[in-house]
Amino acid sequence: MPIPIYQVDAFTDEAFKGNPAAVCFLSKPRDADWMQNLAAEMNLSETAFLHEDDGGTRLRWFTPSAEVDLCGHATLASAHVLWESGRLGAQDAARFQTRSGELTAQRKGQWIELNFPAQPPEEESDSKKELEEALGTRIVHAGFNGTDFLAEVESADVVRKLQPDLKRVAALPARGCAATSRSDTGEFDFVSRFFAPGIGVNEDPVTGSAHCCLGPYWGGKLGKTEMTAYQASRRGGVVKVRLENDRVVLGGKAVVVFSGELKI
Q: Quick check: 11 and 231 in contact, CB under 8 A? A: yes
For residues 93 and 28, the answer to whether their CB atoms sit within 8 Å is: no
Question: How far, in Å, CA of 132 to CA of 138, rounded?
Answer: 6
Give the Cα separation of 21 and 32 in Å (integer): 18
Whether 46 is catalytic is yes
Q: What angle is formed at CA 169 by the lines to CA 167 and CA 172, rounded to 5 degrees?
A: 115
Identify the segments of the chain with pLDDT beneath 70: none
pTM of the model: 0.97
From the list 46, 113, 124, 203, the catalytic residue is 46
The pLDDT assigned to 88 comes to: 95
Largest CA distance in the chain: 54
SS3 content of the chain, % helix, strand, coil (to 5): 25, 45, 35
For domain 3-115+251-262, say whether CATH 3.50.50.60 is its number: no
Class of domain 122-244: alpha beta
Is 122-244 the same fold as 3-115+251-262? yes
Q: How many CB atoms lie within 10 A of CB 158?
A: 18
The domains of the chain are located at 3-115+251-262, 122-244
Type of residue numbered 36: Q
Q: What angle do CA 219, 173, 199 make, to 5 degrees?
A: 90
What is the SS3 assignment for 2?
coil
